[in-house]
């Protein structure tokens, strides 16, 4: 580009007038730049020449009109929405779009409201995150509990309240849910092992009680009244020291012992 063409381009730019022009700069090489301001990042919008400047600027204005239309559509949705978090993704996409679209116009009147919407969304998400964090901590607090019934109910309540808690960004949401899942799996694995051990104890106790019943039955017809009575007292005391066994078998054996 010759010096004369460069001067023509700068003079042409100085003659232009439109809303938001102060946000842009044009250097002598024709590089049109949107300056960093507020929530906008600096970026090159176009490369102009004396020959294509009018055409490209007109095209860039049209692209801004399209961006403005997208903004107004989202603005109407935002104002009408009761649950602002449902628009979280759209707000994010709108911000990203405004950061990259090659257009010329008053970007400040678009990006400022979007930044406020994003702030509101983040505040609501942070509040929901705090609620979900408490649920994760509650789940972890009962993972090592031996109060099996109450702990199991607590974990069911945590899952139900989680469904009722509002939206949180996927990264933080998944991280908290994974903590709950780890706590839940830890608890249920401990409960399973406990029941296995409990069942083993029940079977051991069953064998012990069967042995006592068989001893009692073996001397049922004895006429050695004194010694037999002492044996029955001893067997009864032993029965009391043995823990519980399977309900049905326990009653059945006790009736045999009494008989």
Model confidence over 195-241: pLDDT tens digits?
Answer: 788 777 777 777 777 777 777 777 777 777 877 787 788 877 777 77
What is the three-class DSSP state of 26?
A: strand
Residue pointed to by tokens 């054996």: 253
On whether the CB atoms of residues 46 and 102 are closer than 8 A, the answer is: yes
Question: 24 forms bridges with which residues in the sheet?
Answer: 34
Six-digit token string for 66: 């399209």
Distance of CA 107 to the CA centre of its chain: 34
Question: Is residue 67 a contact partner of residue 101, using CB atoms and an 8 Å limit?
Answer: yes
**3-state secondary structure (DSSP) of residue 18:** coil
pLDDT digits (tens, 9 = 90+) for 37-92: 778 889 999 999 888 999 999 999 999 999 999 999 999 999 999 999 999 999 99
* Most distant CA pair in the chain, distance: 136
What's the pTM? 0.70
Backbone angles phi, psi at 46, to 5 degrees: -165, 165
Classify residue 34 by burial, with Cβ atoms within 10 Å: 0-12, 13-18, 19+.
buried
Is the model's pLDDT at 1 over the cut of 60?
no
Q: Which of 33, 36, 32, 28 is nearest to 6 (CA)?
A: 28
């Amino acid at each position: 580009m010759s010096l004369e063409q460069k001067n023509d381009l700068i003079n042409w730019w100085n003659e232009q007038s439109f809303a938001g022009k102060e946000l842009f700069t044009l250097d002598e090489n024709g590089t049109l730049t949107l300056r960093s301001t507020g929530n906008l990042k600096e970026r090159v919008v176009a490369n102009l020449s004396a020959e294509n400047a009018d055409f490209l600027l007109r095209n860039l204005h049209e692209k801004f009109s399209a961006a403005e239309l997208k903004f107004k559509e989202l603005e109407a949705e935002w104002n009408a929405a009761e649950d602002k978090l449902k628009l979280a993704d759209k707000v994010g996409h709108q911000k990203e779009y405004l950061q990259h679209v090659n257009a010329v116009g008053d970007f400040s009147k678009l990006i400022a409201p979007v930044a406020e919407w994003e702030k509101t969304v983040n505040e609501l998400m942070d509040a929901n995150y705090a609620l979900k964090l408490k649920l994760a901590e509650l789940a972890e607090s009962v993972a090592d509990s031996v109060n099996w019934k109450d702990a199991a109910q607590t974990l069911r309540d945590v899952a139900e309240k989680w469904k009722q808690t509002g939206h949180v960004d996927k990264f933080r949401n998944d991280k908290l849910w994974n903590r709950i899942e780890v706590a839940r799996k830890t608890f249920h694995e401990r409960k399973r092992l406990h029941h296995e051990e409990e069942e083993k104890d029940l079977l051991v106790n069953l064998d012990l009680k069967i042995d006592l019943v068989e001893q009692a039955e073996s001397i049922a017809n004895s006429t050695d009244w004194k010694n037999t009575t002492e044996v029955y007292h001893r067997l009864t005391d032993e029965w009391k020291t043995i823990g519980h066994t399977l309900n049905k078998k326990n009653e059945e054996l006790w009736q045999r012992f009494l008989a």
